[in-house]
Amino acid sequence: MQTLLLAASLTFAVTAAAGSAPPIDAGYPTDLPEGVLVPAVAPEAPAAAEPPYRPIRPAGANTTRFCSNDALQFATNGPASVYPSDITVAGLDGVVTDVQVWMRNVTHADTSTLWLQLESPDGQVVGLTGSAYSVSGSPFPTASHADWSFTDQASSYAIFYGAAENHYLIFTAPMASRAYLPRNFTPLQQPAPAPATLPRQLLSSLEGSHPNGSWRLWASQIATDAPQPSGEIGDGWCVDVTTAPASSDCYFSATRSGTIDAADALQTGRLWRDGRAAICTQTPYGLLQNTVPVRYDRQDFAPISDQPVCLNVTADFSQCGGDQFQIALYSSYDPAAPNTGVLGHPGISNNKLISFSTRLAGNQGFTAVVNELTPGDGCPNYDLHVEANTCLPPPGDRIFGDGLEEPPPPP
């Protein structure tokens, strides 16, 4: 039942930190042997009759950079040495139309442990990088005097897939100096006093907000069973704030709430949890793990754009209790065959926060389906948030099966 509200490829042999990795299904017949290129979906060319994407930068837009030069050091797990790190923005007119965030001179022994989130003056939180689990096998993803930027206009994610007990898990791990798409997988609650709010996955979510005030970087490091890494953001961070007299109206957002109870219908089986969160540069997939009937709840959405877009999904199962809960997006949904029509899913299940992305064709509606894993568990309430920047085409980078994506030429 629902209520409307929402330079080279690098190879890593890695395992998830013991006790912190999300559950995946044993014996998954993966089609991704270690080191093999993951099939990527090429960017779709608009049909001749389709209108062009609307400009992301509206008339009268101006961009201003604000910086904090204070180093953020990570000596152990927990908050950075400056927490939060604040940048005061003042004197800007209009509303926010775009944001880009910079991390300057980053050196770190394992960037998969870093958890970075931006909070705007209006209190909106956006995930930049971080997973609820980290690499625990050598060699580790490292950074040396790197400059990272996070922008919705980047063409690639700061991610890699790592082998874990003959499976694959997805990690966020920026390394080289380049622009990355923001991404938090299975978002964690940052240490207090960080706000306990559902993070957005797009900096476009700040569109239309007030630019002046305190912009905050919540930076911390998760615990790992491997030797705890250390590092620093040596020269602080910057935020580029673009403002204009009016918003560009590029950001789409919708929130839904729902329940799973005895009145809901049954789905025949569930999808495999293979550790590979769907992203907008990856071919959709879906395999059926079993045929045990489980209850489900569905949320149907009308098309959001007449051009192809990258849709980001974040689900909050923290009020469900019980065991694990699963979510998937469908172009068309058949409860008797839930492995058909799959647009994407997070590759894992949990009873907390979970996120993934998938690409939509122009004028494509979609259905989000939440199902229990243990028959009879039910869920008294879950929240689902979907978002997209309708002025940007989906990214189309190549992603490697057990390593980082191939860096593009330097700008």
Domain with 344 in it = 253-389
Q: How confident is the model at residue 53 (pLDDT cuts 50, 70, 90)?
A: confident
Give the residue from 209, 224, 244 where a domain finishes: 244
Q: Give the least confident one: 6-20, 76-90, 150-164.
A: 6-20
Task: Quick: pLDDT tens for 234-251.
Answer: 999 999 999 999 998 999
Q: Does residue 201 lie within any of the structural domains? A: yes
Q: Are residues 78 and 169 in the same domain?
A: yes
Q: Specify the number of domains making up the chain.
A: 2
Indicate if the pLDDT at residue 389 is higher than 90.
yes
The mean pLDDT of 76-82, rounded to a whole number, is: 93
Report percent pLDDT > 70 for the chain. Answer: 79
CA gyration radius for the chain?
20
Q: Are residues 333 and 353 in the same domain?
A: yes
Q: How confident is the model at residue 201 (pLDDT cuts 50, 70, 90)?
A: very high
Q: Does residue 14 lie within any of the structural domains? A: yes
Q: Which residue has the tokens 């250390």?
A: 230
Write down the pTM of the prediction.
0.83
Q: Are residues 263 and 126 in the same domain?
A: no
pLDDT, averaged across the chain: 81
Q: Are residues 87 and 222 in the same domain?
A: yes
Instruction: Name beta bridge partners: 62.
Output: 243
Please tell me what DSSP assigns to residue 181.
Answer: B
Q: Does residue 45 lie within any of the structural domains? A: no
The mean pLDDT of 65-76, rounded to a whole number, is: 95
Indicate which CATH number applies to the domain containing 352.
2.60.120.380
CA dihedral 127, 129, 134, 135 (to 10 degrees): 160
Please tell me what DSSP assigns to residue 184.
Answer: -
Share of the chain residues as helix, strand and coil, in percent rounded to the nearest 5: 0, 40, 55
Indicate if the pLDDT at residue 403 is higher than 70.
no
Give the residue from 244, 270, 305 where a domain finishes: 244
Indicate which CATH number applies to the domain containing 234.
2.60.120.260
Please tell me what DSSP assigns to residue 263.
Answer: T
Instruction: For residue 322, give the amino acid letter.
Output: G
Q: Are residues 214 and 269 in the same domain?
A: no
Indicate if the pLDDT at residue 33 is higher than 70.
no
Q: Give the least confident one: 144-148, 222-226, 256-260.
A: 222-226
